[in-house]
A and B are shown apart, each in its own frame.
Chain A
Amino acid sequence: MNNAKFNRLKDKAFKYTGIIASISGIVVLAIFIGFVIYMGVQRLSWDFIVQLPSRFAEESGIYTAWMGTVWIMVFTTLISFPLGVGAGIYLEEYAPENRWSKFLEINISNLASVPSIIYGLLGLGVFVRMMQMGNSILAGALTLSLLILPIIIVSTREAIKAVPSSIRDASNALGASKWQTIWHQILPASFGGILTGVILALSRAIGETAPLIVVGALVYVPFAPQNPLDEFTVLPVQIYNWVSRPQEEFIINAAAAIIVLLGITFIMNGIAVYLRNKWQSKMEW
Chain B
Amino acid sequence: MDSETTSQQPKTSQVETKPKLNPNNRSFKLQAENIDVFYDDFQAIKDISLDIVENSITAFIGPSGCGKSTFLRLFNRMNDNIDGFHMNGKILIDNKNIYDESIKVEELRKKVGMVFQKPNPFPKSIYENVAYGLRIQGVKDEEFIENRVIESLKQATLYSEIEDNLDKQALSLSGGQQQRLCIARALAVKPSVLLMDEPTSALDPISSGKIEDLIHELKKEFTIVIVTHNMQQAARVSDNTAFLYMGNLVEYGDTQKIFTNPEKDRTQNYITGRFG
Contacts and interface: CB of A to CB of B under 8 A. Distances in A.
Contacts of A164: 120
Nearest to B77: A172
Given A169-B116, A184-B136, A284-B171, A174 B186 contact: yes
A166 B116 contact: yes
A175 interface: yes
Contacts of A171: 122, 132, 136
A180 B109 CA distance: 14
A188 B125 CA distance: 14
Contacts of A180: 136
A174 B78 contact: no
A164 B119 CA distance: 12
B137 A175 contact: yes
B163 interface: no
Contacts of B116: 166, 169-170, 173
Contacts of A282: 123
Nearest to A183: B136
A164 B123 CA distance: 11
Contacts, number: 67
B122 A185 contact: yes
Nearest to B129: A170
Interface string A166-209: 11011111111100100011001100000000000000000000
Nearest to B83: A97
Interface of A: 97, 164, 166-167, 169-177, 180, 184-185, 188-189, 282-285
Query: Closest 9 interchain pairs by CB?
Result: A166-B120, A175-B109, A173-B114, A175-B110, A174-B133, A175-B106, A170-B120, A176-B136, A180-B136
Nearest to A97: B83
B213 interface: no
| Interface SS of chain A | helix
A188 B106 CA distance: 21
B242 interface: no
Contacts of A176: 106, 132, 136
Interface residues of B, number: 27
Contacts of A173: 76, 78, 109, 113-114, 116, 186
Contacts of B182: 170
B142 to A, nearest CB: 17
A183 to B, nearest CB: 10
Contacts of A172: 78, 81, 109
Nearest to A188: B123
Interface string B77-88: 010010100000
Given A174-B109, A177-B106, A283 B136 contact: no
B185 A167 contact: no
B4 interface: no
Nearest to A177: B106
A172 B189 CA distance: 13
Contacts of B106: 175-177
B229 interface: no
